[in-house]
Amino acid sequence: MIIDVYLVDDHRLFLSGVKAELATEFRIVGSAHDADTAIGEIRALHPDVVLVDVHMPDGGGIAVVEGVTQTNPGVSFLALSVSDLAEDVIAMIRAGARGYVTKTISPADLVDAVRRVHAGDAVFSPRLAGFVLDAFAGAIPADSDHDFDQLTPREKDVLRLIARGFAYKQVARKLNISVKTVESHVSSVLRKLQLSSRHELARWATKRRIV
Amino acid sequence: MLAGVAGGLADSFGVPDAYVRAAFVSLAAVWGLGALVYLALWVVTFDRVDDVEVDLVAPRRAAGLAIAFLGLILLFGVIGLWPNPALVLTISALSFGTAALADGSRVGPLTALLDSDVEKPSRARLLIGGLLLVVGLYFLGSTVGRLFEVGAVLLAIAITGLGIAVGFGPWVRRLLSDLGEERKERIRQEERAEVAAHLHDSVLQTLALIQRSEDPTRMALLARHQETELRDWLYGTAPLAGVDMVSTALKQIAAKVEEDHGVRVELVTVGDHVLDESSRALTAAATEALVNAAKHSGASPVSLFFEAEDGWLSIYVTDQGKGFDVTAIPSDRRGIAQSIRSRMEKVGGSAEISSQPGDGAEVVVRVAAS
């Protein structure tokens, strides 16, 4: 099955580079340099996966993700950015992106990430795993009745292994579980990140912006 | 016709301005109140004449207040607190003398005066300003002997002030704003020079090196190094002098190893801790493990993961390289393994080395947080 991919990036040079890298594996249905054009075209073309840059004029990647997920819930987003600032990462994930990779990613890893996102899985780079562990670190208030406000010990184990640079397959072997189980842990972490009502998450992001 | 207030009122009420002016004059003649009301209106209704020039407001407000003050003095005279009613007439003469100079323009001569071209001060402005000055100074001189007449002194000061404001206000204002502009421009230029100097020393040099380089690995490395450096500069995340946190130290170590050994180091930190004796030993041990992986594993990237949680500091150095048999560590690696272990044992920590041929290697160092 051919996966339809749409690209959004205001750096034309980078855009054409990524296009060339992905064209052999996927069908590139279109691309845009700004958020407004992107939202309109994605609604019309309904691609499977959208690769979206975080920082752009007129709203950026968050505007694209938020603008499309309401109307086209079937479109999956993979954030691709030169920025590895924690608040950008967390903001994109909370807006609804299924994964976040930096632009230094190798072409093979990028192809793999697109496939993963299309399959409904979450893509956690080592750095993203580190951010999530950091954001959910600290004591959980005893009266917290939100399951989403904390990570299970198993989920933490999985994230730690990803942060240490292991691929899902290696994580599965190390923990004596199946790759499917690893994927479900990662997806559940992503959901928690998107839905968590934890105050610390907001405060954490704010703190990072200042530092 | 002094400042366009009468005309403005006439416009608002839909009556011919002549009547409005007549009303003002009558009021002024009887009580001096006409002038007061007029001046108050002038001060309040800036917008009416603002189509002349926007930044005229500040000096005009000053002049307006001075004139209003003068009007207040006048009021004292009218209600009998002032022993020299002759002065009232003098003031009226002065005020309406100025009005007489009106050329029929919509904004009135006083406003026009303040608005005049600074480079070419109009004769009328200098004339009137000078006249007011002379009158003010004259009153001041003539009342020095009669210090009890406070009102007169104040009037003299007010008229002098008005004279200065009318005569030199725009010039002083322009001078001040010019100074401000110059300072801003100088700051801008200094900032630009600083950015240019930095980009020249770093980015341009690196770009030149990349153009001359034939080796793609070296090119990628230069680019990577430059990226880290520029990022730190832009976001101010690298206080190079006085490293006092584990995460900052690790960032520098990672950058150094990338540069020296041509591998990419993927650094992830969770939490942080100050650099003390045990965490220094921890980072030193991790550095050895990292350099070792960079030299021997043949893998890129090498992962460097630091975590401070539950009272423990841990660093994982992981590579996906060729690996080795831990039970039969080659002689050139034994020294390193021992040195990592002994470093950690000295501070009450631990070191764990795991690897299998063909399946990468991992060194875990750990110490209790103090």
E strands, chain B, in order: 265-270, 302-309, 312-319, 350-355, 361-368
Cα of B160 to nearest chain A Cα, Å: 54
> To 5 degrees, how large is the angle CA B113–CA B116–CA B118?
130
pLDDT of residue B368: 92
Q: Judge: B307–A129 Cβ closer than 8 Å, yes or no.
A: no
pLDDT tens sequence across A61-92 = 888 998 898 888 889 999 987 666 777 777 88
What's domain B243-368's superfamily in CATH?
Histidine kinase-like ATPase, C-terminal domain (3.30.565.10)
Query: Is the Cβ of A163 closer than 8 Å to some Cβ of chain B?
Result: yes
Question: Which residues numbered 10-69 in A keep a CB inside 8 Å of some CB on B?
Answer: none
Cα of A36 to nearest chain B Cα, Å: 28
pLDDT of residue B62: 54
Helix (H) or strand (E) holding B369: none
Q: Judge: B268–A166 Cβ closer than 8 Å, yes or no.
A: no
Cα of A162 to nearest chain B Cα, Å: 10
Q: Judge: B307–A166 Cβ closer than 8 Å, yes or no.
A: no
pLDDT of residue B337: 77
pTM of the entire predicted model: 0.57
Under-50 pLDDT residues of chain A: 139, 142, 210-211
Q: Judge: B362–A164 Cβ closer than 8 Å, yes or no.
A: yes
Query: Which residues lie across from B269 on neighbouring strands?
Result: B306
pLDDT of residue B211: 77
What is the residue extent of each domain of chain B?
5-185, 243-368
CATH of A123-211, one of 3.90.79.10, 1.10.3720.10, 1.10.10.10, 2.40.50.100: 1.10.10.10
pLDDT of residue B99: 46
B301 prior amide bond cis, ω within 30: yes
The ipTM estimated for the assembled molecules is 0.78
pLDDT of residue B103: 39
Whether A123-211 and A1-120 are alike in CATH topology: the answer is: no
What's domain A1-120's superfamily in CATH?
Response regulator (3.40.50.2300)
CB A100 within 8 A of CB A130: no
What is the residue extent of each domain of chain A?
1-120, 123-211
Chain A's closest residue to B363, CA to CA, is A164
Query: Is the Cβ of B30 closer than 8 Å to some Cβ of chain A?
Result: no
Q: Judge: A165–B235 Cβ closer than 8 Å, yes or no.
A: no
Each of the 370 residues of chain B gets a pLDDT tens digit; together they read: 455 555 555 555 555 555 556 555 555 554 555 566 666 556 555 444 444 444 444 555 556 656 665 666 666 665 555 545 555 555 555 554 454 444 334 444 454 455 544 444 566 667 777 777 777 667 666 655 555 566 666 777 787 788 777 777 777 778 888 888 888 888 888 888 778 777 777 787 778 777 777 778 778 888 887 887 787 777 765 444 566 889 989 998 998 888 888 888 989 999 889 888 899 999 999 998 999 888 888 887 899 999 998 889 999 999 988 888 777 766 556 667 778 888 898 899 999 988 888 888 999 999 998 7
Q: Judge: B309–A137 Cβ closer than 8 Å, yes or no.
A: yes
pLDDT of residue A42: 94
Q: Judge: A130–B305 Cβ closer than 8 Å, yes or no.
A: yes
- DSSP label of B274: B
Give the nearest partner residue to B266 out of A85, A160, A165, using CB atoms.
A165
